Structure 1
Amino acid sequence: MAAAAAALCAGGVLAQAPAPAYASGYSERLPCVDRIGRCFDATIAGQGVEVIASRAEFERLRGEIEALNDNVREVYWIVRAPVPGAQALDVEARSNAFGRPHVGEPREEPDVTVYALDGQDLDSETEQVARPDVRVNGQPVVVQQETLTQDFLPPGRYAFAIKYLGRRNWDRKWVFLTVR
Structure 2
Amino acid sequence: MTTPKSSAITRRTLLRSFAAASLSAAPVYANAAGFLRGSGDIRRLRMYSGRTGESIDTIYWVEGEYIKEALKEVTYFMRDWRNSKLKSIDARTVDIMAAAHALMDVDEPYMLLSGYRSPETNNMLRSRSSGVAKNSLHMQGQAADLRLKSRSVSQMASAAKNCSAGGVGAYGGSNFVHMDCGPVRTWRG
* TM-score, with length taken from structure 2: 0.30
More strand by share: 1
Structure with more relative contact order (C-alpha pairs < 8 Å, separation 6 or more): 1
Specify which structure has the higher proportion of helix.
2
TM value normalised by structure 1: 0.31
